[in-house]
């Protein structure tokens, strides 16, 4: 693995907010075509890191390589839906206008079905439940054609059945195109079910406390048994610090 080109890389990252030094000489790299899960205490800078990778926040200093050329989808931590657009329109909003309308419509329709929102395609966000809004936000990110997907707690607020369903759907989708995924979560099980790499960050200034690879195929993963159980314990242990 070491020999591969690390195409997404952040080097010597510095970022302060007021008195807080979030990143100070922070280095991290992501292998293309893998799913990297990032865990870490609330407020440690996970969202900030995604925002820096997405170009939304400027770092104080540091080199980012590989992000510029890529097209990126982002499931933001909050759904960020346009209140005046229906579920369908919100998803369709991010699709380029050079895609023919019926194509756009098809993509949108598929994702709406995937998210089990068929009955709500014409609803405005103010009339959706919390979990439904989150699903629209996921659908929007999936609809946008991209090389990299950033996801900030994408599965929060969803019931367990939907969550497992989405994990299944997502791993199937990922197997088809092997996009690079960077996935922030607080749920250790989610990380173990989906991650190719799992990274645990410390409180600020961020350090990488743990970086583990998982080579098992998705189908064989069960967080509460076998080798994953051991990994889960060490993740929880790292997060406990």
Partner 1 sequence: MKISFTGKQYISLASVVFMLLVWKILSLHFKSDFVLPSPEKTLITTLSLFLDGNFLKTVGTTISRGLAGFIISGMLGIGTGILTGINPYVNAFLRPILVTIRSTPVVSIILLALIWLHPGAVPVFIGMLTMFPFICTNVSDGIRSIDNELVVMADFYRVSRKRIVRELYIPAIMPFIVSGASSAMGIGWRAIIIGEVLSQPRYGIGTMMQNAQTFLNADAVIAWTIIAVLISYLFEKTIRWAESKFITWRA
Best CA proximity match to 197, nearest among 186, 184, 4, 206: 184
From partner 1, its own copies, Mg ion, none, which one binds at residue 75 (CB under 5 to 8 Å depending on kind)?
A: none
CB 117 within 8 A of CB 158: no
Task: Give me 44's structure tokens.
Answer: 């440690």
* Minimal distance, residue 127 CB to ligand ATP, in Å: 4
Q: Kindly report the CA angle at 197 between 193 and 203, in degrees rounded to 5?
A: 100
Give 87's Cβ-side CA count (13 Å radius): 26
From partner 1, its own copies, Mg ion, none, which one binds at residue 74 (CB under 5 to 8 Å depending on kind)?
A: partner 1
CB 117 within 8 A of CB 135: yes
User: Alpha-carbon distance 93 to 100, whole Å?
Assistant: 13
Task: Give me 147's structure tokens.
Answer: 């090389």
Binding letters toward ligand ATP, positions 76-105, x by CB under 6 A: -x----------------------------
* Minimal distance, residue 46 CB to partner 1, in Å: 17
From ligand ATP, Mg ion, its own copies, none, which one binds at residue 22 (CB under 5 to 8 Å depending on kind)?
A: ligand ATP
Binding letters toward its own copies, positions 121-160, x by CB under 8 A: ------xxxxxx--x----------------xx--xxxxx
CB 158 within 8 A of CB 131: yes
- In the complex, the residues that contact partner 1 under the rule CB under 8 A are 54-56, 71-74, 76, 78, 80, 82-85, 93-94, 96-97, 124-127, 140, 144
Residues that bind ligand ATP (CB under 6 A): 17-18, 20, 22, 40, 42-48, 77, 120, 127-132, 157
């Amino acid at each position: 693995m070491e020999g591969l080109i690390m195409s997404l890389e952040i080097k010597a990252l510095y970022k302060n907010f007021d008195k807080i030094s979030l990143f100070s000489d922070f280095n991290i790299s992501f292998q293309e075509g893998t799913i990297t899960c990032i865990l870490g205490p609330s407020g440690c800078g996970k969202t900030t890191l995604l925002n820096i990778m997405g170009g939304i926040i400027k770092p104080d200093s540091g080199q980012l390589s590989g992000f510029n050329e890529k097209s990126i989808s982002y499931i933001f931590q909050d759904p960020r839906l346009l209140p005046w657009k229906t579920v369908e329109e919100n998803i369709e909003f991010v699709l380029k206008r050079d895609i023919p309308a019926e194509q756009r419509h098809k993509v949108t329709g598929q994702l709406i079905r995937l998210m089990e929102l068929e009955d709500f395609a014409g609803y405005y966000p103010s009339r959706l439940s919390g979990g439904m809004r989150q699903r629209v936000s996921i659908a929007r990110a999936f609809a946008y054609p991209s090389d990299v997907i950033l996801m900030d707690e994408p599965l929060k607020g969803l019931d367990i059945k939907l969550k497992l369903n989405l994990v299944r759907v997502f791993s199937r989708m990922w197997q088809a195109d092997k996009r690079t995924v960077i996935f922030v979560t607080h749920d250790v099980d989610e990380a173990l079910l989906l991650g190719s790499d799992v990274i645990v960050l410390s409180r600020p200034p961020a350090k990488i406390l743990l970086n583990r690879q998982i080579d098992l195929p998705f189908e064989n993963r069960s967080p509460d048994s076998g080798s994953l159980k051991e990994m889960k314990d060490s993740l929880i242990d790292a997060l406990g610090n």
